[in-house]
Every structure is written in structure tokens, then in C-alpha cells.
């Protein structure tokens, strides 16, 4: 900034939903949930007890869903959220390294999971309006019987289905299933990040631009330190490492071209 670099994309990050998981050796660790929230028999709700997005959407897109603001109260309406799932989910998939090895209710749940025998009791325990959560779950279950999500389009895209349960192939059932097997569980979900994506604006060679759009000679940026060419979006697997490699290569090639060589091929000073 002191040499006049123009910054861009500073409100964005590589967002990812996370849960806090207690690990016996290292204490509480944030655990990113990707496949976990995309599998059948689980949904995500806000503190009003309502679903607010396609739970199987790409992790970066959740940044926008989590940061919806109520402009009267200046609170984030969807953050933190709750991941809600049933015993069928936990027995079949486990969560964050925990898989019950005996039948519920005898099998204890880890203390980072809230468990209750009914949806209403679960809502009361975590402070969500019980009637709303019951209606949310029964609406989800009605649609799950048809393997569709008219509310948020979960399971419509190849991306959603790929993250789901492969036993259901490339069908919406790979990510859509009812919450109908007690007991029921809730885990708090928060907005985490995989890294930054705001920084100096560059040209296609990774040269940093000043506030007038002119190249600042000899100054380059690539990877998470540059203003990402992705803006607020995510291009798919490798969406961060790919551009980082490409712009690192382009910046390196450009800076090498700037170095005058002597007759022995050794680089000189800029
Ligand atoms: C858990 C996790 C999973 C991920 N999974 C994927 C994935 O599957 N696919 C994908 O594409 N991306 C993934 N990413 C993102 C990807 O790893 C990062 O975007 C990428 O590593 C960023 O590379 P970088 O070189 O820009 O920054 P970094 O890898 O952070 O490198 C910056 C380096 O600079 C060093 N440094 C910092 N300050 C200084 C200083 N003052 N002087 C000298 N050195 C300094 C740091 O120590 C570090 O080594 C994941 C990230 C996380 C956290």
C-alpha cells in the first residue's frame, strides 16, 4: 500500500463451513464439513429453525449464505447455523471421526454433538423454535420421499451429487434423504476460511498495479496474497492451487524477462 498498490477483493476469503470437534489429544479443532453436509439424512438450519441454502453447495458459496445481514438488528441471520441429522446418518456415515460402535441410545454421543429423542426436544436444547424446526423437518421429509428439493435445488447439480453417498450413483438420492430415525442430533456450524483471496490487484503477468492502473515495476503477487481472479466465486476442485500455480509461473516468467543477463548467462540486477 505504501508504494501505491491498488487492493481488491478485500471483503472476500476462501470460505468453508466448519464445526468444532473435540480431539482427545489436541483439544478443540475446527473441522471443515464438505461431504459431511452433502450426505442424505442431514440438513442445515439457522437459529430460526429454517433451512437457508442448498447444504450441498460448494464450500466457498457458503460465505454469501452465512453473511446475510438483518439490517434492522445488524445480526447475521444464518450464522452460526446448525447441522441437524438423525441416527440413520450417524450410523451409516459417522461424523468427523466419530462413528457409534453400539446401538443408540446406549451408545454415548461425543459432547460436541447435541442429542435428543425428538426433533422438538432437540430444538429446545439448542434454543431453536421447536414448532418451526418440526415443520422444517417434516417439509424436508415430504420432499425427500420424492428425492427433490424445490426450496433450494439440492441435488440438482452434478457437484451436489458427487459429494453425496456414492451408493446412490448420480441421482438426487445421493444427497437427499429423510430425517426419520431417532435420536436426532445437532452440531453448530460456523463460517471458516481456507485462506485469504484479497490483496494487490495485478495484470495477467502478476505485476502489481497502482491505484491508477499502472504497473509498479518489480512488484509481483500470486496465490492467496493477490486479489483473486475468482472474485467471490470458486471454480471447482483446485480452485485455489490452480490459479496460484498459474500466476506464480506467469509472474516468475515475467520477472525473469526483466533480468538483463551477462555474456555467461548469469542474471544481473534489476
Ligand atoms: C485445510 C485446507 C485444505 C485445502 N484444500 C485445497 C484443495 O483441495 N484444493 C485447492 O486448490 N486448494 C486447497 N486449499 C487452499 C490452498 O492450500 C491455498 O490456497 C494455497 O496453499 C495458497 O498458496 P500460497 O502459496 O498463496 O500461500 P501459502 O501456501 O500460505 O504460502 C505462503 C508462504 O509464505 C510464508 N510467509 C508468510 N509471511 C512471510 C514473511 N513475512 N516472510 C517470508 N515468508 C512468509 C508462509 O510461511 C507460507 O509458507 C486448502 C487449504 C486448507 C487450509
**Rounded to the nearest whole angstrom, what is the distance from the C-alpha of residue 247 to the centroid of ligand 1?**
14
CA-nearest residue, atom 23 of ligand 1:
223
pLDDT at 265 over 70: no
Cβ(256)–Cβ(266) under 8 Å? Answer: no
pLDDT value at residue 263: 45
**Rounded to the nearest whole angstrom, what is the distance from the C-alpha of residue 224 to the centroid of ligand 1?**
7
**Rounded to the nearest whole angstrom, what is the distance from the C-alpha of residue 240 to the centroid of ligand 1?**
9
Please state the atom number of ligand 1 nearest to the C-alpha of residue 240.
11
On the CB side of 67, CA atoms within 13 Å amount to 13
pLDDT value at residue 196: 95
CA-nearest residue, atom 11 of ligand 1:
238
pLDDT tens-place string over residues 62-73:
999 999 999 999
φ, ψ of residue 146 to 5 degrees: the values are -100, 5
Query: Which three-class secondary structure state does DSSP give residue 243?
Result: helix
Residue in the structure block whose three cell numbers are 548467462: 265
pLDDT band at 108 (very low <50, low <70, confident <90, very high): confident
φ, ψ of residue 84 to 5 degrees: the values are -115, 130
How far is the C-alpha of 266 from the C-alpha of 171, rounded, in Å? 59
Domain ranges of the chain: 33-193, 197-257
pLDDT band at 260 (very low <50, low <70, confident <90, very high): low
CA distances from 219 to 14, 200, 260, 261 (A): 24, 10, 17, 20
**Rounded to the nearest whole angstrom, what is the distance from the C-alpha of residue 225 to the centroid of ligand 1?**
9
User: Does any ligand 1 atom lie closer than 6 A to the CB of residue 240?
Assistant: yes
For residue 100, what is its C-alpha cell?
457409534
Kindly report whether the global pTM for this prediction surpasses the value 0.75: yes
pLDDT value at residue 105: 66
pLDDT band at 235 (very low <50, low <70, confident <90, very high): confident
pLDDT tens-place string over residues 164-211:
999 999 999 999 999 999 999 999 999 999 999 999 999 999 999 999
CA 135 vs. chain centroid, Å, equals 26
- Architecture per CATH, domain 33-193, reads as Alpha-Beta Complex (3.90)
Centre a 10 Å sphere on the Cβ of residue 115 and count the other Cβ atoms it contains: 20
Amino acid at each position: 500500500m505504501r508504494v501505491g498498490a491498488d487492493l481488491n477483493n478485500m471483503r472476500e476469503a476462501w470460505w468453508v463451513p466448519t464445526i468444532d470437534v473435540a480431539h482427545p489429544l489436541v483439544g478443540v479443532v475446527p473441522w471443515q464439513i464438505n461431504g459431511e453436509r452433502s450426505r442424505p439424512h442431514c440438513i442445515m438450519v439457522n437459529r430460526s429453525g429454517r433451512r437457508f441454502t442448498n447444504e450441498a453447495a460448494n464450500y466457498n458459496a457458503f460465505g454469501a449464505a452465512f453473511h446475510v445481514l438483518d439490517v434492522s438488528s445488524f445480526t447475521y441471520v444464518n450464522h452460526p447455523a446448525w447441522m441437524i441429522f438423525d441416527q440413520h446418518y450417524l450410523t451409516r456415515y459417522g461424523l468427523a471421526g466419530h462413528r457409534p460402535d453400539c446401538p443408540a441410545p446406549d451408545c454415548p454421543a461425543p459432547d460436541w454433538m447435541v442429542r435428543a429423542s425428538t426433533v422438538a426436544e432437540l430444538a429446545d436444547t439448542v434454543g431453536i423454535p421447536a414448532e418451526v424446526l418440526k415443520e422444517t423437518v417434516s417439509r424436508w421429509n415430504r420432499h425427500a420421499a420424492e428425492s427433490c428439493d424445490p426450496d433450494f435445488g439440492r441435488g440438482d447439480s452434478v457437484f451436489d451429487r458427487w459429494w453425496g453417498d456414492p451408493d446412490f450413483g448420480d441421482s438426487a438420492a445421493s444427497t437427499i434423504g429423510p430425517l426419520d430415525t431417532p435420536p436426532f442430533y445437532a452440531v453448530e456450524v460456523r463460517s471458516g476460511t481456507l485462506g485469504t483471496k484479497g490483496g494487490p490487484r495485478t495484470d495477467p503477468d502478476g505485476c502489481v498495479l497502482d491505484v491508477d492502473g499502472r504497473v509498479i515495476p518489480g512488484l509481483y503477487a500470486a496465490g492467496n496474497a493477490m486479489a483473486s481472479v475468482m472474485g467471490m466465486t470458486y471454480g471447482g476442485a483446485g480452485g485455489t492451487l490452480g490459479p496460484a500455480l498459474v500466476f506464480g509461473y506467469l509472474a516468475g516468467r515475467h520477472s525473469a524477462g526483466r533480468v538483463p543477463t551477462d555474456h555467461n548467462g548469469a542474471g544481473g540486477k534489476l
